[in-house]
Amino acid sequence: MTGRRRDLAAMIVPLERALIAAELPILRAHGLSMWAYAVLTAVDEGPIRTQVALAQAIGADKTRIIGVLDELQQAGLIERRPDPADRRARLVSITEKGRKLRRTTQAAIQANEDRVLARLPAAERAAFLRALAVLSALPPEEITG
């Protein structure tokens, strides 16, 4: 190794893959796909969004999430209604049933993450989570330069 440390992507990507692999059975047990969980999380954590803004927020093509939104609406987990400011746009909001399912699913996912994070001493764990929050909030242009 020529540098002082491995590249960030080389360290993060294997961790990301393992965390996603650990999430998939939890999501299946709760009847959710990864995209459905991403939608419920984005809608639960933010204000009511248009379908276009929601797709941008979760990094999905707007046409790709239509099917996911249809399934979530049919299951009573979200509601969609016309935007009063723009009748061509649809506003997406989470229902109480969707909020409960999302939070139950997140608790199960985070219980596993807590098991992984327990490998770090408490102070390092807190510092890691703070640093990850800061870095993951950076706009892409600050990372790509």
The whole-number pLDDT of residue 39 equals 96
> What is the number of other CB atoms lying within 10 angstroms of the CB of residue 16?
11
Read off the amino acid at residue 83: D
Query: H or E segment at 83?
Result: strand 78-83
Q: Which range has the worst mean pLDDT, 37-41, 44-48, 110-114, 135-139?
A: 44-48
- Mean pLDDT along residues 7-24: 95
- Mean pLDDT along residues 2-8: 84
Closest CA to 92 of 63, 50, 33, 120: 50
The whole-number pLDDT of residue 72 equals 97
Question: Would you place residue 2 in the very low, low, confident or very high pLDDT band (cuts 50, 70, 90)?
Answer: low
pLDDT tens per residue across span 41-91 = 999 998 778 888 899 889 898 888 999 999 999 999 999 999 888 888 889
Q: Is the pLDDT of residue 108 over 70?
A: yes
